[in-house]
Amino acid sequence: MDQNSLPPIQTTARDDAVLKALVGFVRAEALQPGERLPTERILAERLKVSRNTVREALTRWEGLGLVERRQGSGTYLKAAVSPDMLHMPLTLAGGNDFTSLMHTLEIRRALEAEAAALCAERASPADIAEIKRKLDIMEQAFRTRDGMSSEEDWEFHQAVYRVSGNPLFEQIIAAMHELFHRFWEHPLGVRDFGHASFPYHRTIYECIAARDPQGARAEALKLIATVEDDLKRGAAKLKLSSQT
Amino acid sequence: MDQNSLPPIQTTARDDAVLKALVGFVRAEALQPGERLPTERILAERLKVSRNTVREALTRWEGLGLVERRQGSGTYLKAAVSPDMLHMPLTLAGGNDFTSLMHTLEIRRALEAEAAALCAERASPADIAEIKRKLDIMEQAFRTRDGMSSEEDWEFHQAVYRVSGNPLFEQIIAAMHELFHRFWEHPLGVRDFGHASFPYHRTIYECIAARDPQGARAEALKLIATVEDDLKRGAAKLKLSSQT
DNA sequence: ATGCAGAAATTGGTTGGACCATTGGACCAC
DNA sequence: GTGGTCCAATGGTCCAACCAATTTCTGCAT
């Protein structure tokens, strides 16, 4: 028996229905992020549902960062919504510890390599020019400040993700990038963090320009490897200093 | 249950406080994923808050995938919790169209290969035995039903992700797995969807057991390639049938 | 008219109590 | 055993208040 031929039946799903209705409302009214949506009391009345149910639904959206509630003021849209959104709640144990950061780097290694390869396959001449532009900006920032600039560096990588043609790359890595940012604000003592990764940005670009997916993948892996190395050195230093 | 591990809470920001108290409780009682936590009514009474507040807090945890509620049964822990967790809710504009599914497959290809390789590096003998167990179950289900069973198949892959030592693999792919499930509910006419991927489960296992990361990566890539192929065939059929 | 302090209305947050729907176990007849 | 029936426990929903933060309105002093 194919067990897919007997899917579980769906009997009640009030708050899900509320969210679905709300998606429809937002689209019908063409609400933009920042605008206020109806009060809980009005939603409850219009949807013929108790205010509690409305609140449970909105709590879910708030947890997903789609909406922001301000007591006494109202509930405001925080991001665009679409009928079939894919929710991906990621939870990391421990904020700044070495292990969590290594985990994010393992994910980034996988995605960065794939994105670079796809990018090399699909980049149009205009795309290549755009990536080159970001590369130049980054390299100049590096020279004038004699150090990696996380801002310009990030712009370069974003351009690569975008050209890969798959928006998921940018969105997933962007979420983890925030985590890394916190880490960079509190440097672990590795003064030249990211220094070693610098040359690989150009080699990645060159492979993309040459339409060499395998080469781009290899260079991306080398880049991540340098970051992992920096991280390990930082962790070693930290361990040392904490023994004082 | 130690009654002192659930002291009443005091401050405003009730539901946040409830979650904090709940984290303490889970740690104090050393609750493992799968175990049941106190009923909403008991939590409300012990924490001296209303049941609605407890529910809002649990709704947030449910949205983060930390907890699962089953009406008539109870609320069950779904993942380990720690005081300083970092939540990263990521919502992607997805869809059921061919392009979106190909995008998720590109992500899965990158992560599946990396996870298989890491798994081959890190698996302990016990881990390998566990993966073999899942493989046997899946293979038997395949033979008795003469077709891929998405349930047992998924269990096998989950075991690999888990052994990789990086919980992010499982979390990210699990979210996308749901998207694929939606897709399977509306089959595109490819009757033996996933059939071709069957043999690669065993080859992946063999590479892991042999501690061969590169081999495991290669076999994982082959597996995803078969799924991509199935998807393309389904899309072609759909296009044909929509021309009637 | 203008400015501003205080009252009033609005809105999300919380409470307590009630009832419904599902689950799972106990018990029973066959 | 198998299949029913009942029942207590539990999450899901509802209602009607009240609390707390915010916004808006009002009216008085200038």
Contact status, residue B64 vs residue A91, Cβ threshold 8 Å? yes
Rounded to whole angstroms, how far apart are CA atoms B91 and B235?
A: 25
* Distance in angstroms: CA B51, C1' C17: 11
Say whether the CB atom of B112 is under 7 angstroms from strand D. Answer: no
Task: Give the pLDDT of residue A177.
Answer: 80
Cβ neighbours around B171 below 10 Å, total: 20
Alpha-carbon span A235 to A7, nearest angstrom: 49
Residue A66 in tokens: 């789609």
Q: Cα-Cα-Cα-Cα dihedral of B209, B213, B215, B221, to 10°?
A: 110
A71 is near strand D: CB distance < 7 Å:
yes
Q: B93, A80: Cβ pair inside 8 Å?
A: yes
Task: List per-residue pLDDT tens for chain A, 244 residues long.
Answer: 444 456 666 666 788 889 999 999 999 998 999 999 999 999 999 999 999 999 999 999 999 999 999 999 999 999 989 887 888 888 877 656 778 888 888 999 999 999 999 999 999 999 999 999 999 999 998 888 766 677 888 899 999 999 999 988 998 888 788 766 666 555 555 556 778 888 999 999 999 999 999 999 999 999 999 988 888 887 776 665 555 4
Q: What pTM did the predictor assign?
A: 0.79
| Assigned token pair, B82 | 């720690």
User: Within 10 A of A93 (CB to CB), how many other CB atoms are there?
Assistant: 17
> How many Cα atoms are found within 13 Å in the side-chain-facing hemisphere of B6?
20
Cα distance between residue A98 and residue B124, in whole Å: 22
C-alpha A2/C-alpha A33 separation (Å) is 44
Q: Looking at residue A12, what DSSP letter applies?
A: -
pLDDT of residue B5: 47
Q: Confirm whether any atom of chain C, the nucleic acid strand, is less than 7 Å from CB of A73.
A: yes
Q: Do B66 and A167 touch (CB under 8 A)?
A: no
- For D22, nearest residue by CA–C1' is A72
Residue B182 has pLDDT above 70, yes or no: no
Which residue's structure tokens are 């509320």? A18
Residue B243's pLDDT band, with cuts at 50, 70 and 90, is low
Token representation of residue A167: 């928006």
Tokens of B117: 């390789």
Report pLDDT digits (tens) over B10-38: 455 778 888 999 999 998 988 999 999 99
Q: Is the CB of A46 under 7 A from strand C?
A: no
Sign of the dihedral defined by the CA atoms of residues A29, A30, A36, A40, in that order:
positive
Give me the pLDDT at residue B223, please. Answer: 95
Average pLDDT, chain B: 84
pLDDT value of position B192: 66
Subunit contact B64:A91, Cβ cutoff 8 A:
yes
C1' (D22) to CA (A76) span, angstroms: 14
Under an 8 A CB cutoff, do A89 and B175 touch? yes
Concatenated DSSP letters for chain B? --GGGSPPP-SSSHHHHHHHHHHHHHHHHTPPTTPEEPPHHHHHHHHTS-HHHHHHHHHHHHHTTSEEEETTTEEEE-S---TTEEEEEEEEE--SSHHHHHHHHHHHHHHHHHHHHHHHHH--HHHHHHHHHHHHHHHHHHHHHTS--HHHHHHHHHHHHHHTT-HHHHHHHHHHHHHHHHHHHS--S-TTTTGGGHHHHHHHHHHHHTT-HHHHHHHHHHHHHHHHHHHHHHHHHHHHHTT-
Instruction: Report residue B51 as tokens.
Output: 């049941």
pLDDT at B2: 45
Q: Indicate the SS3 state at residue A238.
A: helix
Contact state of A65 with B110 under an 8 Å Cβ cutoff:
no
Other CB atoms within a 10 A radius of the CB of residue A1 amount to 7
DSSP code, position A5: G
**Facing B171 at nearest CB: one of A7, A56, A90:** A90
The full length of chain B comes to 244
What is the structure's pLDDT at A7?
61
Distance A43 CA to D27 C1' (A): 35
Torsion sign over Cα B131, B135, B137, B138: positive
Q: Is any atom of strand C within 7 angstroms of residue A55's beta carbon?
A: yes
Tell me the sheet residues that pair with B89: A89
CA distance A149 to chain B (A): 24
Cα distance between residue B136 and residue A161, in whole Å: 39
Contact assessment for residue A168 and residue B107, using Cβ atoms and an 8 Å cutoff: yes
**Separation between Cα atoms, residue A64 and residue B88, nearest integer Å:** 9
The alpha-carbon gap from A143 to the nearest alpha carbon of chain B, in Å, equals: 33
The alpha carbon torsion through B47, B50, B51, B55 (nearest 10 deg) reads: -90
- Give the closest of A88, A92, A93 to B90, CB-based: A88
pLDDT in tens, B128-171: 999 999 999 888 888 877 666 677 888 899 999 999 999 889 88
Q: Measured in angstroms, what separates residue A72's CA from nucleotide C17's C1'? A: 26
